[in-house]
Amino acid sequence: MKPKRVTDMLWSFPERFLRVSHQFGRVVRRDVVGMTPEQIRASLDGLARLYPGHFNVAFERTTLQDVPCAKLYPRHRPRGNEGKDAPVLVLAHGGGFAFGSALTHRAFASALVVELQCEVWIPEYRLAPEHPFPAPLEDVITVLDGLSSKSEALWILGDSAGGNLALVAGMEWINRTGGHIQGIGLFSPWLDLGSNSASNRLNQTDQSPFERLDLVEYAAHYLRDFPADDPLVAPLNGDLTAAPPIYIEASKAEYLRPDFEQACIVFEERGVTFTAREEKGALHGWQLFPDVLPEAKRSVRAFSSFIEGVRA
């Protein structure tokens, strides 16, 4: 029998081990160490430096209309591709509105660059709690606005809290400007920030590094006194009439799956063109490891195929 590779076994731990290890991690992070958002940022960015993504992708620090960004693009474009209008992707990183960065999402963005031979821009939007709503949202909208004059093949995507920003920013920019976005990608999006959301009520923590208390805390950091049901933070409550085609995916095992399910119901009811995809047992954030996890490779290929289908 052919031996399994390590990457084939990463998610194959016993359920009890996953449950206990995640619970232990939450206790240490929150109750023993008491990690602040700033400490979590530093830790994640430090680890992310060890995983820079594909070597054939350039990573450039820049600004766009005064918003710091990372721009990723192919170091060597294939011959004959110079004149093609490749898609330009704006990736709103996840991290509870309080952490995450271009570094933590560099490998995911790099995989998309390689697959699509495109540019990916990652806004380093201002983070809560220092910069609550609407600062992160306005930064992402500003980047969309700046890129809209450079490309007619504009896309926006995001994971987790970044999925919230991607959907809100995309729709808000369209409504403000009448401009065109080719499509939106939502990866395990956090779309309901209410303390009594379906995801929080289910509180599915066996395979989750966070739980209800974490989501309530980080939603409060972002919202401050802003109502959680306002369409600017609850995009499923907003006007989706002008929505472009949407790709959305989640894992059947992850904490935010009820947000995914509710989004699919709303999209269906509102007549939004969308493609939904599920992984069976992947952990939240699996998309960030495309060179390690087969689930992440599938996500990159599925979203790339979706983009190509919309553009065909």
Which residues, listed in sequence order, are joined to residue 121 by a DSSP beta bridge?
Answer: 71, 90
By CB atoms closer than 10 A (0-12, 13-18, 19+), residue 18 is middle
Compute the distance between CA of residue 157 and CA of residue 169 in angstroms, rounded to an integer: 10
Distances from the Cα of 309 to the Cα of 44, 66, 303, 304, angstroms: 34, 34, 10, 9
Cα dihedral 137, 141, 147, 152 in deg (nearest 10) = 120
The DSSP secondary structure of 38-76, one letter per residue, reads HHHHHHHHHHHTT----TTEEEEEEEETTEEEEEEEESS
Q: What is the reported pLDDT for 33?
A: 57
**Domains in the chain: boundaries:** 14-77+85-311
| Distance, C-alpha 299 to centroid of its chain | 12
pLDDT, tens only, 88-138: 999 999 999 999 999 999 999 999 999 999 999 999 999 999 999 999 999
By CB atoms closer than 10 A (0-12, 13-18, 19+), residue 1 is exposed
Q: What is the reported pLDDT for 85?
A: 82
Compute the distance between CA of residue 182 and CA of residue 151 in angstroms, rounded to an integer: 11
Q: What is the reported pLDDT for 5?
A: 47
Q: Do the strands 67-74 and 119-123 form a parallel or antiparallel pair, or are they unpaired?
A: antiparallel
Residue spans of the chain under pLDDT 70:
1-34, 78-84, 207
pTM: 0.90
Residue 88, amino acid: V
CATH architecture of residue range(s) 14-77+85-311:
3-Layer(aba) Sandwich (3.40)
Task: Tokens 């084939």: give the residue.
Answer: 8
By CB atoms closer than 10 A (0-12, 13-18, 19+), residue 68 is middle
